[in-house]
Amino acid sequence: MHLTETDFLFALNHPLRRQALRLILEKGPLCVCHLTERLGSSQPALSRQMGILRERGLVESLREGHWIYYDLSQSLPGWAREILKTLPQAIPESSDRSFHSEKNLCPTRDPLRLLFLCTQNACRSQIASGWARALGGSRVEVRSAGILPHPEGVNPLAVSVMLGKGIDLSGQPSTALDASLLQWANLVLTVCGEADESCPALPPGVRKEHWPIADPDRIRGSSREIFQAFIRTRDEIENRVRDLFRRLALPEIPLPRKTTP
């Protein structure tokens, strides 16, 4: 939908719509419960005004469990975003110190419990769990395990390439898969063929998804070629985790910028 200046000015003409837009610009995407709490509005009143903003093409909505999250429309023009930045803050900084995007989870919704499995729990499942924790924050609980865990823990090259993205895997042990982990999980993700074939029967209600990811530790070549293989694996797993969160309608936590490979 093409946003016209008339639609945009109409949106800013209502104080609740104006404050909601500014708050989403600052903190979004935000759940209905957080918008009502922060803006001091009732949920029916807020939902009515957000429906108007959605119809006019200023915001997009997505469902996560029983809750609706709102974010600025991806097609919102740059000029409209610049005007929103000139509006007064929806919540003064001094009164909002405890609020952070990582905590934008409705307290009535339990975190999603993800279990990543591979053969040795030394590389691919460790990288996947690192990405899921970093991108999911408090929306997810994450564990990883191996069918035959490696006695030395995480592969040093896996630690190195993840540090390049600001994610520290050092010191994490390789954990053996057991029944309690399968009972704990909501979703089991196997990241190698051996783990997929050897995965025990899952308890009722626990889902499984397989990601066929090649083992970078089996690459033969120069040190640089092996390191590049680990980087490719790291980046492939990042894309898969981001895709999983999109499919599950889980908003991601922004990561700090890193300049290292």
pLDDT above 90 (res 95) = no
31 is catalytic: no
pLDDT tens-place string over residues 68-82? 788 899 888 999 999
Residue pointed to by tokens 């209502």: 14
33 is catalytic: no
43 shares its domain with 129? no
78 shares its domain with 21? yes
Catalytic residue among 31, 33, 118, 123: 118
Catalytic residue among 31, 33, 123, 192: 192
Number of domains in the chain: 2
85 shares its domain with 195? no
Task: Select from 38, 73, 97 the last residue of a domain.
Answer: 97
pLDDT tens-place string over residues 33-42? 778 878 888 8
125 shares its domain with 199? yes
What value does the mean pLDDT take over residues 150-159? 93
192 is catalytic: yes
126 shares its domain with 242? yes
Domain that holds residue 91: 5-97
Q: Is residue 105 part of a domain?
A: no
202 shares its domain with 138? yes
pLDDT of residue 258: 52
What value does the mean pLDDT take over residues 54-63? 86
Cα→Cα distances 102→28, 107, 142, 250, Å: 11, 13, 15, 11
pLDDT above 70 (res 96) = no
